[in-house]
Structure 1
Amino acid sequence: MRQNISSGSPWETQVGYSRAVRVGNMVQVAGTTATVNGEVVGIGDPAEQTRAILGIIRRALEAAGARLEDVTRTRIYVTDIARWAEVGAAHGEVFGDIRPATTMVQVAALIDPLHLVEIEAEAIIAT
Structure 2
Amino acid sequence: MRQLYSSGSSYEQTLGYSRAVRVDDTLYVSATAAGGPDGRIVGNNLYAQTRYILQKLEAVLTEAGFALADVVQSRLYVTDIAQWREAGRAHGEVFGDIRPALTLLHVLPFVDPEMLIEIEITARRSAAG
Q: Classify the TM-score, shorter chain.
A: over 0.9
Deviation at 1:14, TM superposition (A): 2.1
Structure 1 segments (4+ residues) deviating >3 Å: none
Residue by residue over 1:76-108, the C-alpha shift from the partner in whole angstroms, topping out at 9 and shown as x without a partner, is 000000001100000011100100000111101
Does the CA-based 8 Å contact 1:33-1:118 persist in structure 2? yes
User: What is the root-mean-square deviation of aligned Cα atoms in Å?
Assistant: 0.9
What is the match of residue 110 of structure 1?
Answer: 110
Deviation at 1:15, TM superposition (A): 1.5
- What amino acid is the match of 1:109? P
Unpaired segments ≥5 residues, structure 2: none
Alignment pair present for 1:18 and 2:18: yes
TM-score of the two chains, using structure 1 as the length reference? 0.95
What is the match of residue 126 of structure 1?
Answer: 126
Alignment pair present for 1:72 and 2:35: no
What is the match of residue 30 of structure 1?
Answer: 30
Distance (whole Å) between structure 2 residues aligned to residue 11 and residue 32 of structure 1:
13
Does the CA-based 8 Å contact 1:20-1:61 persist in structure 2? no
Alignment pair present for 1:39 and 2:40: yes
What is the match of residue 83 of structure 2?
Answer: 83
What is the match of residue 100 of structure 1?
Answer: 100
Distance (whole Å) between structure 2 residues aligned to residue 41 and residue 30 of structure 1:
18
Deviation at 1:111, TM superposition (A): 2.6
Distance (whole Å) between structure 1 residues aligned to residue 96 and residue 22 of structure 2:
24
TM-score of the two chains, using structure 2 as the length reference? 0.94
Unpaired segments ≥5 residues, structure 1: none
Residue by residue over 1:34-91, the C-alpha shift from the partner in whole angstroms, topping out at 9 and shown as x without a partner, is 0012111102x11000011111111111111111100000000000000011000000
Does the CA-based 8 Å contact 1:21-1:64 persist in structure 2? no
Distance (whole Å) between structure 1 residues aligned to residue 6 and residue 29 of structure 2:
10
Out of 112-121 and 13-22, give the one that drifted further: 13-22
- What amino acid is the match of 1:117? I
Number of paired residues? 126
